[in-house]
Chains A and B, each alone.
Chain A
Amino acid sequence: QSALTQPRSVSGSPGQSVTISCTGTSSDVGGYNYVSWYQQHPGKAPKLMIYDVSKRPSGVPDRFSGSKSGNTASLTISGLQAEDEADYYCCSYAGSYDVVFGGGTKLTVL
């Protein structure tokens, strides 16, 4: 149960695009299409942004998109807005009713 690897921080200017990577193994990210992404603002509960690798819950802007290649999943945020500044976490099913989160990435909108 090793945590998935995410960059500690990423940044971008309003209107730009940023991509956050999430690297696991063939036992988690690479083995299942159950990768999800969460946004967390300070003092708030996390919010689901992407599930099943690339699906968006209703209400989540289409500026948010997810993908996966091999053992690495990615979250791309296009048309950055000030309110996107938050912490982002990836998460994957790891088999045998086991779940693993990434360490989190702090997104700064410059």
Chain B
Amino acid sequence: EVQLVESGGGLVQPGRSLRLSCAASGFTFDDYAMHWVRQAPGKGLEWVSGISWNSGSIGYADSVKGRFTISRDNAKNSLYLQMNSLRAEDTALYYCAKDLGSTTVRAIDYWGQGTLVTVSS
């Protein structure tokens, strides 16, 4: 059974940093691309960032480019999101998500339950 378990969310002040982690199990982690997708309270889904199986291809939404960094450790079956210079508008539930493909972005077939990030003073 595929499991994606996010951690690292919490309350943080504007301008500060936070690192999200996602522990993956139930599939061959290094065979698939992975993503972070967020959802602000009462709002729609927003793709944040994606990374190919070997970290050779990485993409970011314009809203986080230059502030967030995605990475993965295939030896630890883990995905990460380093979030710097956080803003109030980054407040959201952050989902770790698995892609159907390894290099090309096709679709997200599994989602975690999310970790809540609240940016507020």
Residue total for A at the interface (Cβ-Cβ under 8 A): 26
Docked complex Cα distance between A100 and B61 (Å): 8
Query: Which residues of B approach A to under 8 Å, CB–CB?
Result: 35, 37, 44-47, 50, 52, 57-59, 61-62, 95, 100, 104-109, 111-114
- Residues in chain B near residue A109, CB distance under 8 A: none
Contact: B113 with A99, CB < 8 Å? no
4 tightest Cβ-Cβ pairs between the two chains A and B: A97-B59, A36-B107, A51-B107, A104-B44
Contact: A101 with B59, CB < 8 Å? no
Is A48 an interface residue, CB under 8 A from the partner? yes
Contact: A46 with B45, CB < 8 Å? yes
- Residues in chain A near residue B59, CB distance under 8 A: 96-99
**Minimal Cβ-Cβ distance residue in B for A33:** B106
**Minimal Cβ-Cβ distance residue in A for B114:** A45
Contact: B44 with A34, CB < 8 Å? no
Contact: B111 with A45, CB < 8 Å? yes
- Residues in chain B near residue A38, CB distance under 8 A: 45, 108
Is A103 an interface residue, CB under 8 A from the partner? yes
Contact: B108 with A48, CB < 8 Å? yes
Docked complex Cα distance between A46 and B106 (Å): 16
- Residues in chain A near residue B35, CB distance under 8 A: 99
Cross-chain contact of B109 among A48, A101, A103 (Cβ < 8 A): A48
Docked complex Cα distance between A34 and B105 (Å): 8
Contact: A93 with B114, CB < 8 Å? no
- 17 A–B contacts, CB within 8 A, in A order: A1-B62, A38-B108, A45-B111, A45-B112, A46-B45, A48-B109, A52-B106, A91-B47, A91-B107, A93-B105, A97-B50, A98-B59, A99-B47, A101-B37, A101-B45, A101-B46, A104-B44
